[in-house]
Chain A
Amino acid sequence: MRFALVGQPNCGKSTLFNQVAGYRAETGNFAGTTVTFTESKVRVLGDVVDIVDLPGAYTLAGASPAEREAFRYLASREVDAIINVVDASHLAHGLSLTLELLELQRPIVIALNMMDEALRLGMRIEGPALEQALGAPVLPVVASRGRGVKELFTKAYAVARSGAAPRQPMYAPDIEAAIQTLLTRLQPEPPGNSSAHGNTHASGRHPLKPEAIAIKLLELDNDVVARVEQAIPGARALVKATVEQLEHSRGQTTAWLMSAERQRRAQELAHSIVKQGARRFSWRDRLDDILLHPILGYVGFVVIMLAFFQIIYGIGSVLEKPVLALFEQIAGGVSDLLGTDNLAVEMATGLLQGISGGVAIVLPYLAPFLLGLGILEDVGYLPRVAFLMDALMHRLGLHGKAIVPFILGYGCNIPAVMSTRILEEPKDRFLAAALSTMVPCAARLAVVFGLVAFYLGPALALVIYVFNLFVIAVTGRVLSRFLPEDSPGLILEMPVYRAPTARAVTQKAWFRIREFIVEAWPILIAGSVALALLNYLEWTRYLNMLVWPITWALGLPGEVGTPLLFGILRKELSLVMLAQALGSSDFGSALTSNQMITFTVFVVFYVPCLGTLAVLMRELGRRHTAYIVTLTIGVALAAALVARAFSALIT
């Protein structure tokens, strides 16, 4: 048996899913966080039920990838019951999707979620009246606290068992007539039956009923029209003629007419069953007066971000020391066991370095960052940040939502790249990912501090940070000019502030950490071993030659090449290896101050670390990752040359 959770973004659908499914889903306040669906097996009344969390969709007729995905699933897979999650505090909106779902003529249960929120807003919803009007069961739920969840699933189970379809909502007479025409003339063969769709059960029951197909034909849903045309040649022409006739008499597209009618009906319905009482104002309503204030808002932003980084670095440094000490101990043990200066020990060291590298990313940075991000996200602060920063991000050719990867980038580029998923446009995702890999992460902070701040003073380190921002801004402007499509700009719902639940936050963080462990870590380990091998074979000479054009152009000693290459594994390695390569850890005497600045600036910008590259590959694909690598090398060279010229001037 299979239930599908369907609902609009921010309705608490994923929260409900997590309540019953445990460790598999992501939830978030950013519309469209769940772009792919998640599935889980759950026990309901002794039966095992597959529960599918479909991506949030405002409408089944929508154009966004998430909406297409949701409709495609319902149109091609056998679902025994639809659980439609509706935000009770925004009933008029949610019901327009409900009406669309009723048209599918499948067993359905409506979960009125966030009943507590609705009460706070002074709304009294008459459940029985709504049930009557819709002809489908309606149950109140507070998903975040698990209230009503059990009853909901029990009801869904009963409805699925009985197979009772809801009442079909009716459109205006002329639209209904057009639907009937298509029904009788085409007798549309349910597309789920075609062999092209291997996903359906062999039961012979079709995912889409003829009435639902007729409605989708009238809306000119490309997929459905194409599939019906395949089964009944000539269907497309008939659909077109019917649609044109209707559009001619009404002067609007059919898709528009039908969605307008559903929305009007949803409004009326919500009006008739909601009794509006006095709204209780609370601190949550006033919070935005401060956090979105033209001045205080930015002060608040800086304070919150400082606290965020302070706490995360705090946790990170507490965790990092014992872990790194442990690995040093193991490394010592390995060389005791295998001796020194042979292939085995070098390989083992490489392996260990890869493993410890992964741990040194996950524990101190990735885990606390993702937990922190999850809290900010679930509280509802991130959309506020997007609002505050929209104007600034426009200067980079992006919009407000793209601020998130930038903030995260200062901690670690890996979660930064992961977070570009919140952007809708592929162009925005690429640009935000490319720029956020140039944000100096905590590891690069170590290089800036170890070289520039330590030997040349903290003021100069600050100059490097400001220079970094400037270079990112210039790169963003130039890049956005070369990337064709213009992004439409910010459209973002501000959810009400909510207290985050520990469960949702940890689950979401774990979900992303697991991605890193499975995909990026193995690459990191393999890279470490490969470089250890090169090191053992004493090919560093060749490595240095490989990088020689760069070191020569920047006026750096040739031995610096190997540390730069190792820096790709983990950025702080470029500093550790630098001591090895120069044969001295007193950089002040081995390098001129000019060289130190040039080296640091280059390290800040060039090629993101291997872990980030692996995540980039997953998010953007191989080709775009290659673009970013090329871009960062180019930008790093240019920036380092500028820094070299500049420091020659001042010293």
Chain B
Amino acid sequence: MKYKAEIDIMPLKEILDPQGKAVKLGLKNLGLPEILDARIGKHITLEIEAENKGAAEEKVAFACKKLLANLIMEDFKYKVTEA
């Protein structure tokens, strides 16, 4: 079976995100001072060959923990669906 994973990786809340801060300023300059905060992360999609959804999720979690995210600075969430 083929599965598709949609992964979101975000900087941890307690860590300053300078990119998000700069974008927030840009939004304010655009005339949107009501946007109170912006944080920027990464969106990654993967195609996976796996026996079932559970096995695919296990592979995605392993990929996130070992390579795609650095848990010292980021957290991640993902959704796996049939491709």
Whether chain B is bound by chain A comes out as: no
